[in-house]
Chains A and B, each alone.
Chain A
């Protein structure tokens, strides 16, 4: 499907195909960046995406995204059936993931996801006060109560499901409580993102710093108790020192994943969907590799504002999505991101130093043993 050009990022390694099955959603979260519409991906477009992924001859992720992808479960099932068929012939290797708000998760879907190894990530903001503040249904009602039994069913069937938590200035005071709530609920993978487009100011950032300090204490206590968990803000920052930068965490705009809009238009990342300026072709007619490469190069250029920064290799300032969300441009670094990095790094490093000094075995295995996830699975089994 890739056009013949001098630059072909596809040859650079594995990429994931994120299929935006629909722009519509059964919720109306306050901070959502998706322009809701009634667009739905056709089966033909979904299967064309799988065919494009197949040609990579590599292990490829098929990610179902939205809007709310579970509004179109049948489309998802047919796409996975087709991909499994291709996989069974030995033509490609796929893994699947769906990101959902959870409201439409039911036993049947959970069983199907397990049987087909479709990984489920659920968006949830933690304690009721935080979750219901922004994650509302179309009637403006919080969804916390409705999700309570669903979370239990999800974790029973898929115990490694991650919780995706968004922290907004309006909920930052509940950050640590929310992480604790999700952890106690049974989530072992807690992925936290700031709403960079939110109305952050000095006061809310000070509050964020206090929450990070509380979270660091929780992280230390859980690690001392040999609990197994992944708490993204600290894991990413600690890893950035141990592994020498954020290399593994970078999406590299269009290099490791592309987004397919409902109409088949290809974009470099989820947050660009619908902005024709960033369109890189169509899944039916081919990806414009020249456009893709130029976007990638533009994003990779060192940002002038960060030239002299001592921690730029450990920082997420190169995330085009995030910069665009915050500043409107992929090249202008988000001041909120900068402030976040400046407060988080020393807290994460102090935490890691304490645990290393104690030669905490859980910390050492988790951070220094590449095979820790495998050992952990063996233990669980």
Chain B
């Protein structure tokens, strides 16, 4: 028989009330990575803090609120531990094989690295160095369907050789390519094999960014706007001419999608360096 049973004792929870939190003005400046990637959110938060509307402490307003920048007291500013958000430009999702009628155009590691290094140079960063991150959580994406790639992705512990590293700023980058997604997916236990493979570079990049420090994670935008495909007018063409015209149309489509992906990637990189500038790192 159920009955009402008052609790005579209950321990005080070990997290603060809002009044107690008001004594820690820095608390409210702890920003999720997804917020810190959006300048509009940072500006809004700064304004709300200055107006005292956040409900927590109203300490001095930083010119650039520092998103999750954890200082090591014994280290120089350049040795700060940075968690860098993923900057979103491009969907980062595509599939290939079987029923996929609009396969995405993939960027190779080399093509991506070239764009990233070009942009880095403009900000005085030289990503020609090497570094391997050891014992980090590597995401294990699933190639069998987007549904299976819901967060949190499973992970395994492993090493990651970065795609580029700048010795001076001690910041590296990793570009999540379709090859990476394929390779990391094989670290899982999935035994399902399908005639179609899906690639979710963005979700994979999101997961990786949460497990690495001082490392920018970019992803292949995987542009695939099939409506931009312009099939040729075959008219009186011979079969050979028609095949050749079709092949040219496909190449033209692929070229335009690749350009689109490169532009999206460049935007990711630009946003990252602007963010880094905001942190006072460069």
Contact = CB atoms under 8 A, between A and B. Distances in A.
B260 interface: no
Nearest to A180: B150
B195 interface: no
Contacts of B40: 378-379
Contact of A224 (B17, B38, B45, B152): B152
Interface stretch (A33-41, A69-77, A250-258, A305-313): A305-313
B2 interface: yes
A119 interface: no
A353 B27 CA distance: 15
Interface string A352-381: 110111010110110011110011001100
A241 B45 CA distance: 24
A357 B4 CA distance: 33
Contact of B34 (A312, A374, A379): A379
Contacts of A349: 13, 15
Given A368-B27, A369-B56, A375-B45, A361 B4 contact: no
User: Main secondary structure on chain B at its contact with chain A?
Assistant: loop
B62 interface: no
Sorting the interface of chain B by its residue count into under 10, 10 to 19, 20 to 34 or 35 or more gives 35 or more
A353 B30 contact: no
Contacts of B7: 309-311, 342
Contacts of A357: 14-15
A310 B8 contact: yes
A200 interface: yes
B2 A339 contact: yes
Given A242-B21, A244-B17, A374-B48, 14 more contacts: A226-B34, A309-B6, A338-B5, A345-B10, A357-B15, A359-B30, A361-B30, A361-B31, A361-B35, A371-B44, A375-B41, A375-B45, A379-B34, A379-B35
A371 B54 contact: yes
B152 A364 contact: no
A227 interface: yes
A370 B55 contact: yes
Interface in A272-317: 305-312
B13 A374 contact: no
Contacts of B68: 361
A145 interface: no
Nearest to A359: B30
Interface of A: 184, 200-202, 205, 221-222, 224-227, 241-244, 305-312, 333-336, 338-339, 342, 345, 349, 352-353, 355-357, 359, 361-362, 364-365, 368-371, 374-375, 378-379
B188 interface: no
A242 B28 contact: no
Interface string B26-56: 0110111111001011001100100001111
Contacts of B10: 310-311, 345
A361 B151 CA distance: 17
A242 B6 contact: no
A225 B30 contact: no
B16 interface: yes
A305 B198 CA distance: 58
Nearest to B33: A226
Contacts of B72: none
A362 B32 contact: yes
Given A368-B28, A379-B41, A224 B14 contact: no
7 contacts: A205-B2, A242-B21, A307-B6, A335-B4, A361-B68, A368-B55, A379-B40
User: Main secondary structure on chain A at its contact with chain B?
Assistant: helix
Contact of A241 (B15, B38, B53): B15
B120 interface: no
Which residue, A241, A243, A311, A375, has most C-beta atoms of chain B within 10 A? A375
B136 interface: no
Given A368-B55, A370-B55, A379-B35, A241 B13 contact: yes
B34 A365 contact: no
A342 B31 CA distance: 33
Nearest to B19: A244
A365 B32 contact: yes
A342 B5 contact: yes
B210 A224 contact: yes
B151 A371 contact: no
A285 to B, nearest CB: 39
Which residue, A243, A306, A335, A369, has most C-beta atoms of chain B within 10 A? A369
Nearest to B53: A371
Interface string B50-91: 000111100000000001100000000000000000000000
B18 interface: yes
B148 to A, nearest CB: 11
B174 interface: no
B41 A336 contact: no
A377 to B, nearest CB: 10
Contacts of B54: 368-371
B98 interface: no
Nearest to B48: A371
Contacts of A361: 30-33, 35, 67-68
